[in-house]
Amino acid sequence: MINTKEAVKKELDDLVQTGNSLVARIKPELEDSFYADYQAWYTVSLMAVKQLLPKRFTEFSSQYEPGYEYMNMVKRKETLGYEDTARNRLLFQISILVAAQKTMESVLSDVEEALQAKLFGDELSAAHELCDNGHIRAAGVLGGVTLERCLARLCAKHQLTNEKNVLSISEYNDFLKSNNAIDLPKLRFIQHLTEIRNLCSHDKGQEPTKEEVIEFLDGVKTVMTTYF
């Protein structure tokens, strides 16, 4: 997602820069290539605004027809001074793109959160299905993977980094508590979940029960829905 954010930021930066270069090209003598360049810029910019700043979409699109007509007037030299009006229309569109730049981070973060939540939810559903079909250990192991990812995501949300790339559930739990990202009751709750998960992952002569695994999966869901 970081690469996606960087790509979107670069795209917006390029659109603003291209828009400003188009403004500079609005003169009494317009180049024939201007119209094709503006159309290409407008098409991409319109979609960017629609995705990143939908509340300003109508404002952005409403500048198109009158602005385009003013540009045609400039080209036909029907009315002197209309280049200023065309320029102002385009500058207004650029200002909306600049506003979209400011909201980009939060919009993409919301998208990332939604996608991650869906992924976690799908994994838990699969774990419940395994449990219902009698694959108790496998269900617990899959739920443990989801819990581990949840805790890694929680670290990222709090902008916490560790020298180790991947931590165990217990290490994530202690790391989050030591950085005040979770309180003591949450620490103990995750410790309890970890015990059930370890029972599923390590064969120590004791089989996890279906009830324990269901409790574990419900606990992972609690972490998913209340810890963020």
Mean pLDDT, residues 149-178 taken together: 89
- What pLDDT, on the 0 to 100 scale, is given for residue 67? 67
By the 10 Å C-beta count (0-12 exposed, 13-18 middle, 19+ buried), 131 is classed as buried
- What pLDDT, on the 0 to 100 scale, is given for residue 74? 66
By the 10 Å C-beta count (0-12 exposed, 13-18 middle, 19+ buried), 94 is classed as buried
Q: How far is CA 45 from CA 11, 69, 74, 213, 228, in A?
A: 9, 19, 23, 50, 33
Instruction: Give residue-wise pLDDT tens across range 73-123.
Output: 766 666 556 678 788 889 999 999 999 888 887 777 766 777 788 888 889
Token pair 């949450």 is at which residue? 186
- What pLDDT, on the 0 to 100 scale, is given for residue 118? 82
If you average pLDDT over every residue of the chain, what do you get?
86
Q: How far is CA 132 from CA 91, 98, 126, 204, in A?
A: 60, 52, 10, 23
Q: Does residue 214 carry a pLDDT above 90? A: yes
- DSSP annotation of 180: T
pTM beyond 0.75: the answer is no
Q: Does residue 14 carry a pLDDT above 90? A: yes
Mean pLDDT, residues 141-154 taken together: 93
